[in-house]
Amino acid sequence: MSESNIMNTYGRFGVSFEKGIGCKLYDSNGMEYIDFVSGVAVNCLGHSHPSIIKAIEEQSRKVMHISNYYWNSKGIELAEKLCSLSEHDSVFFCNSGTEAMEVGIKVARKYGKVHGGESKNVIIYMKESFHGRTMGALSVTGQEKYQKDFKPLIGGTKSVKFNDIKDLEDKMNENVCGVIMEPIQGEGGINVVSIEYLKAVKKLCEENNALLVFDEVQCGIGRLGTLFAYEKFGVVPDVVCMAKALGGGFPIGAAMVNKKASVLERGDHGSTFGGNPLAAAVSLAVLKELVDGGVISKVDEKSSYIRAKLGILKEKYPIIQEIKGIGLLIGIKLNVDVKEFSKRCFENKLLAVTAGKDVIRLLPPLNVENEDIDKAVEILDKVLKTYN
């Protein structure tokens, strides 16, 4: 077996995982790891969840994929469910986060055309943000390291400093058609938006007739203790982009709009696989567990449990600068090299990835058990000790 046939775009750990159950993963030698990455906030119900397996089995026996030339009840049911649980009215289905962001970008551009003509085309995005790797999403991703080798990007974009009202006021005008942001910047370092800033963003969008687009790809679908991240902040965006946990491990993305942002018409956008019956059936099963099954309602409790333990570690180890984030989107800010820290966690059989330049990210499944939290914290304690 040789890995050289896979394009070398990732820095990977030297392990191959072949099996998972709950928040445990097993490598090709049968070695057990505690998975606090969850496929980067994807496996919200852990690995091998029976409801997901059942949905795949049942739906794959009926029909997996048709085409968006035809209807299927699963997609309709999923859209109904998402709209009934939100302030929004319609959904476009795709297959990933970056694709969901493309919908957000196109909706904003079309909204500008419809309401202000050719000149209303400016999209504002945040520094340190992450929205994906396609050229559109990359063009609104505020990190030079991702953009630099792929310029020219799409035009008509402007970046502002996150949580800086003055900077946004300076750059906002009637030519802006949309403001795109993550309520909590995941990749950028678990940076939480301030409510004051969010309210100002919403007000500036309204005053300038621009759409507010939330990227909830990482922080949405229960991770903050509410189904949608915006519920945690009490500011409702016009467009919500989601993916990752929406399928619990099966690829699906979606962008959901309110009436105001409902501008896309027949022929404006498309996706061959978007909203296929199999993905929709899995997503319905995931939402049933998360919402109706009460998984999300326990997130705050689990968050408090792990954060109390991390607080104790912070007292014990001065290399911990801060415990960041909300709910089960957790960042540990360290004053040591976080790549090395993540490697030492891995060597001790705990999976945790970095965020930004100085943060270790913990993204346990939303149904994580306290015993698994205890084990993970024990490993963190052991790793932190190696820095004394």
Q: 130 vs 377, which CB is nearer to ligand PLP?
A: 130
How many residues touch ligand PLP (CB under 6 A)? 15
Single-letter code of the amino acid located at 219: C
- H helices present in 10-49, as ranges: 38-41
103 is in an annotated binding site: no
Instruction: Give the x/- contact pattern for ligand PLP in 171-190, rule: CB under 6 A.
Output: -----------x---xx---
Neighbour-count burial of 209, counting CB atoms closer than 10 A to its CB (0-12 exposed, 13-18 middle, 19+ buried)? middle
Neighbour-count burial of 155, counting CB atoms closer than 10 A to its CB (0-12 exposed, 13-18 middle, 19+ buried)? exposed
Between the two ends of the chain, the Cα-to-Cα distance in Å is 40
**Binding residue for ligand PLP (CB under 6 A) from 109, 131, 223, 302?**
131
130 is in an annotated binding site: yes
Instruction: Give the x/- contact pattern for ligand PLP in 299-338, rule: CB under 6 A.
Output: ----------------------------------------
Q: 366 vs 377, which CB is nearer to ligand PLP?
A: 366
Q: 141 vs 258, which CB is nearer to ligand PLP?
A: 141
98 is in an annotated binding site: yes
DSSP string, 76-109: HHHHHHHHHTSS--EEEEESSHHHHHHHHHHHHH
CA proximity to 129, closest of 215, 43, 206: 215
Q: 211 vs 221, which CB is nearer to ligand PLP?
A: 221
Does residue 128 touch ligand PLP according to CB under 6 A? no
Measured in whole angstroms, the distance separating CA 66 from the mean position of its chain's CA atoms is 27
Residues sharing a CB contact under 8 Å with residue 105, sequence separation 6 or more, in sequence order:
123, 136, 137, 139, 140, 154, 178, 180, 213
Single-letter code of the amino acid located at 289: E
**Binding residue for ligand PLP (CB under 6 A) from 39, 75, 104, 132?**
132
**Binding residue for ligand PLP (CB under 6 A) from 130, 228, 233, 341?**
130
Encoded tokens for 315: 């007292």
Instruction: Give the x/- contact pattern for ligand PLP in 216-255, rule: CB under 6 A.
Output: -xx------------------------xx-----------
Does residue 354 touch ligand PLP according to CB under 6 A? no
CA proximity to 243, closest of 154, 132, 365: 132
Task: Identify whether the C-beta of residue 33 lies closer than 8 Å to the C-beta of residue 350.
Answer: yes
Task: Identify whether the C-beta of residue 93 lies closer than 8 Å to the C-beta of residue 186.
Answer: no
Q: 255 vs 263, which CB is nearer to ligand PLP?
A: 255
Q: 201 vs 383, which CB is nearer to ligand PLP?
A: 201
Binding residues for pyridoxal 5'-phosphate: 97-98, 130, 215-218, 272
Q: Which residues are annotated as a binding site for N(2)-acetyl-L-ornithine?
A: 133, 271
- Residues making contact with ligand PLP (CB under 6 A): 96-98, 101, 130-132, 182, 186-187, 215, 217-218, 243-244
